[in-house]
Amino acid sequence: MRIAMMATGGIGGFLAVKLTEAGHEVATIARGEHLRAIQEGGLRLIGPTGNSQVTPWLATDNPVEVGPVDAIIFGVKGDALDQAAMACKPMLGENTVVVPFLNGVEASDRLLAHLPEHNVANGVAKVSTTISAPGEITQTGEFATFIFAERDSRPTARVETLQCAMEEAGVSAPVTDDVERELWNKFILFSAMSGVTAAGRCTIGDIRAYPELTALFKAVAAETAAIGRAKGVALADSVEEDTWALVSALPPSIRASTAIDLEKGLPLEIDWLSGAACRLAKEYGIPAPANETLYAVLMPHKAGQMN
């Protein structure tokens, strides 16, 4: 397949290495020092079980050079979505599938402001990866699951082809019959994990150890689940308990990327996490005091560099 990464960060960089290794023509869209490093020395993945280095088919900051592709893996931070979406246009053909893997539940809908609906799919990523140096991606932990489908979850050849490509590349890409439920399952976990580990400057281990943090986490997860149900998402009756069971199984040192971004003084994705929960709660008439409090506490740090 011919696949473009918009862009080559934690998500796009990880998949670029895996899919290039599996023999696909991968175009990595990047910029600045990171782009120069990929052009000069290729893209390196530091993984939990070993490292790999690839030379992608193309490394550029100009999507016109790439031209139409079969699939675009769309992975930028929430605030960068609009500009990155517009930049994708030269890479679209009639049947190109654009799969967003942003955290939150709004990315696919937001893409429709810029891209034709028939090109846009929906997806959720369960992986922990970051740009650790120019030209280098580091993965923490071995989990790497990418769940995606057409926006209405109907099976199509283009989604199935990309899922097979990922599976053959050693990345889990299970079929789903309800991609919206998958997004909300993660959002229920992640709205709480992001808000609490960032505002509390704490880890998942702390959330389990301090009853006050446990209660706060569960309150956020329950609010977000209530919003999902009000929206009509087919959540399991046990989603709150299932979410806590997942938290109980996570390594104690884990924090959300939001907490790590806060520590580094980087901009926070809170408008698309706690902020999204608050917005959607208002829309559906659901009280969301825990999400609102966490959103407010993190607000002064939203633009970064204010630690």
Ligand X SMILES: CC(C)(CO)C(=O)C(=O)O
Ligand Y SMILES: NC(=O)C1=CN([C@@H]2O[C@H](COP(=O)(O)OP(=O)(O)OC[C@H]3O[C@@H](n4cnc5c(N)ncnc54)[C@H](OP(=O)(O)O)[C@@H]3O)[C@@H](O)[C@H]2O)C=CC1
Q: List, in order, residues 6 or more apart from 50 with CB less than 8 Å away.
A: none
Binding mask 105-134 for ligand Y (x = CB under 6 A): --------------------x-xxxxx---
Backbone Cα Rg of the chain: 19
Which of 51-59, 97-105, 168-176, 218-226 is the region at the interface with ligand Y (rule: CB under 6 A)? 97-105
> In terms of CB distance, is 277 or 286 closer to ligand X?
277
Its sign, for the CA torsion 71, 5, 90, 80, is: positive
The verdict on 66 binding ligand Y (CB under 6 A) reads no
Residue 220 contacts residue 133 (beta carbons within 8 Å):
no
Q: Among ligand X, ligand Y, none, what does residue 256 contact (CB within 5–8 Å per kind)?
A: ligand X
In 3D space, the residue among 151, 153, 173 whose CA is nearest the CA of residue 162 turns out to be 173
Q: How far is the CB of 157 from ligand Y (least distance, A)?
A: 26
Q: How far is the CB of 271 from ligand X (least distance, A)?
A: 15
Indicate which single residue of 17, 26, 29, 270 sits in contact with ligand Y (rule: CB under 6 A). Answer: 29
> In terms of CB distance, is 119 or 194 closer to ligand X?
194
> In terms of CB distance, is 92 or 179 closer to ligand X?
179
The verdict on 128 binding ligand X (CB under 6 A) reads yes
Size of the site for ligand Y (CB under 6 A): 29
> In terms of CB distance, is 34 or 101 closer to ligand X?
101
Cα distance from N-terminal residue to C-terminal residue, the chain: 44
Q: How far is the CB of 68 from ligand X (least distance, A)?
A: 30
The verdict on 127 binding ligand X (CB under 6 A) reads yes
DSSP single-letter state for residue 74: E
Residues 68-87 that bind ligand Y (CB under 6 A): 75-78, 80, 83-84, 87
In 3D space, the residue among 204, 229, 195 whose CA is nearest the CA of residue 302 turns out to be 195
In 3D space, the residue among 66, 64, 67, 78 whose CA is nearest the CA of residue 11 turns out to be 78
Residue 248 contacts residue 208 (beta carbons within 8 Å):
yes
